[in-house]
Amino acid sequence: MDPITLEVLGYRMGEVVHTMEHLLFHSGYSPILRESYDGSATILDRNGYVVAGSGAPYHLFPYYYTAQYIIDRFKGEISPGDSFMANDPYHSGNSHVPDMAVVTPVFFDGEIIAYTACIAHKPDLGGLVPGSSSAGAREIFHEGVLFPGVRIWSNDGINRDVEAILRQNSRTPDEVAGDVRAQVGCTQVGAQRIVSLCQEYSAEEICQAFEEWIVISQRRLGDELEKIPDGVGVGTAYLDNDSVDLDRPVKIEVKVTKSGSRISLDFSGSNEIVTGPVNIRPQSTEAGATLVLIGLLDPKIPINDGIRRAVEFINPPGRVTHAVFPAPVNNYYPTMHLVYCSVLKAMDQLTGRVVAPAALGIGGNTIGYVKARNGLPAVQYELQNTSLGGTPSNDGAFGAMAMNQVTPSTSLEILETEYPMRVTRFEPLVDSAGPGEFRGGVGYVREYELLSAAKLSIRMGQFKFGGWGVNGGKGPKTTAKAVLNDGSDTEELLPPLQTRDLPSGTRFAIKMSGGGGYGNPYKRDPQRVLLDVTNGYVSVEAAVEDYGVAINRDSMTVDDEKTLELRSNKTKERG
């Protein structure tokens, strides 16, 4: 295809997926979808390979698994107007049960030429606890109702039997049913837009553009790999535990082998599968790993199945990175984040390109209420965003997830309007960021006061093993924490995975760590250290200890002479 037409069609495909994403977020019912944007949309070719996508980046690679399953399951039984729904992580590409996928075939002249699809997180799909994702899950059946792939929509409209089953198995039936209809609607609109493109150009040209965009991504990643030396790198990190064997850390290890335009990622050294819900399926492992490759080598490479063609994954079944049925997988994100961090470590050994890791302890928490502000049962499902690590040219961003910077925290106004609670604190934590020439993003405290009894489920990661710095930077001094009644006589520290029944009046606080630092902290501009002190990010004491910057408390200015002396002495100590 001539390059101008191909480029134009690339932008037109982008327009389609962005339109789908916009419709999804603006017609969804639940706050986790309409406020936190925990969803995505994509176009796949007629063979079920991802061509283009928008939304949560780590959703985009796993769509392949969902499409392959739907195509195989309904072979010869797919009609125009159909939409299919799946959420079983052992059949579909979603990472855990609450992530519901919807796939819609695109017909033109009686033949399937493409598929449109979306994934959206549901506030509750049954299971042991409100929000479905329980620390007590010991098998996938504990984590909510499983749809292995069903026809949810046809030319006759919604499949009311399936919708009835869905509603009957949710504590928030109206929100879940509304979100699913939003998913069907956005994929149907996406299908209509692709048909319009076929009418404007031709089906042959559109299908050719799909294949060429996939090949372009494969070639561009291969070209970038060619530029770095062949070699091997190893990255290792640890989760605190699996919530069952509390004294046993869970190891994530990757061996990266680069040769020519190919790269292999071997997870054979990772922990064997565990009892608790921190295992992940291969789609999550692959998503976390490939996002590192794109981010380090060329962030402008289109995310599609061309990436998969350039990467070999060695991920034996029975590892924590390759859960086998019926192992629980609901707390997948902290584990997937460690996969990301471990691959980042290994790639640093090959490329010398690295950013400091985002704050560890990442996850999501749910609070279930018998009666919300509207008088109905409700589930407050929140993503606990972290802050990013320092880079070679910038401090880490505040309150942004690695791998998923597009999902914001739910606004306080929405929380207090919809749920019987109030937010009593949401502010940065002093000295929580990893020091560096470019420091990590600052950690924060977010505290809730419950105005009715509720069931809390904590689903987080590392409260024991903290982050690290790179290229002379340091890791944060503190790790993440979950605290009941912070600062009172009844204060209690909670583990990263637990479910608790809480009475009205309880205060629950999340204290997030900061990101890791990049580069020698003693090279940080003293004026930037002063600004951090002024903003409450760094204490005067830490300015001296971590950065060698002396600050006059009375005038709030840098003492240049004392700073020079501090930094000179530190250099002599190192020498």
**In terms of domains, do 98 and 174 share one?**
yes
Q: Is the peptide bond before 57 cis (omega within 30 degrees of 0)?
A: no
Same domain, 440 and 556: no
- Domain-embedded: residue 101: yes
Residue 559: per-residue pLDDT? 92
The pLDDT of residue 574 = 62
Which of 146-150, 367-371, 382-386, 524-528 has the lowest average pLDDT?
A: 382-386
pLDDT of residue 401: 82
Residue 575 confidence (pLDDT) above 60? no
Question: What would the two tokens of residue 49 be?
Answer: 């390979």
Rounded CA-CA distance 302/10 in Å is 10
Per residue in 449-498, pLDDT (tens digit) is: 999 999 999 999 889 998 999 999 999 999 999 999 999 999 999 999 99
Residues 174-201 have pLDDT tens digits of 999 999 999 999 999 999 999 999 999 9
3-class DSSP state of 203: helix
325 with 360: CB under 8 angstroms? no
User: Could you give the CA distance from residue 17 to residue 19 in angstroms, rounded to a whole number?
Assistant: 5
User: pLDDT of 307-338, one tens digit each?
Assistant: 989 999 999 999 999 999 999 999 999 999 99
Domain span holding position 570: 525-574
Q: Are residues 60 and 79 in the same domain?
A: yes
The percent of residues in the chain predicted with pLDDT above 70, rounded, is: 99
- Please provide residue 525's backbone torsions phi and psi, each rounded to the nearest 5 degrees: -55, 120
Residues 54 and 197 in one domain: yes
In angstroms, the CA 6 to CA 470 distance is 40
Nearest-5° Cα angle at 350, 348 to 355: 20
**Token pair of 547 as six digits:** 């950065």
**Considering the domain boundaries, does residue 298 fall inside one?**
no
pLDDT at 573 over 70: no
Are 90 and 183 found together in one domain? yes
With cut-offs at 50, 70 and 90, classify the pLDDT of residue 383.
confident
pLDDT band at 400 (very low <50, low <70, confident <90, very high): confident
pLDDT score of 570 more than 90: no
HEC profile for 101-135? Answer: EEEEEEEECCEEEEEEEEEEECCCCCCCCCCCCCC
* Residue 225 forms part of a structural domain: no
Within-domain flag for 397: yes
Helix (H, G, I), strand (E, B) or coil at 394: coil
Closest CA to 560 of 508, 515, 519, 525: 525
Alpha carbon distance 100, 88 (integer Å):
8
What's the mean pLDDT when you consider all of the chain?
A: 94
- Asked whether residue 339 is assigned to any structural domain, the reply reads no
Q: Six-digit token pair at 41? A: 């949309």
pLDDT tens-place string over residues 85-94 = 999 999 999 9
Q: What is the pLDDT of residue 533?
A: 97
How do 454-459 and 481-484 pair as beta strands? unpaired
Does the pLDDT value for residue 426 go beyond 60?
yes
Considering the domain boundaries, does residue 330 fall inside one? no
The predicted pLDDT at position 362 comes to: 85
The residue-averaged pLDDT of 525-551 equals: 96
| Mean pLDDT computed over 72-87 | 96
Q: Is the pLDDT of residue 22 over 90?
A: yes
Residue 571 above 80 pLDDT?
A: no
| Structural domain total, the chain | 3
Specify the pLDDT at position 118: 97
Asked whether residue 499 falls in the same domain as residue 363, the answer is yes
Burial of residue 200, with CB atoms counted within 10 A of its CB: 0-12 exposed, 13-18 middle, 19 or more buried:
exposed
User: Three-state DSSP class for 99?
Assistant: strand
Q: Are residues 372 and 428 in the same domain?
A: yes
Q: 218, 245, 268: which is the final residue of a domain?
A: 218
The answer to whether residue 240 sits within a structural domain is no
- Given 194, 218, 242, the domain boundary residue is 218
Q: Is there a domain that residue 363 lies in?
A: yes
**Last residue within a domain, chosen from 160, 188, 218:** 218
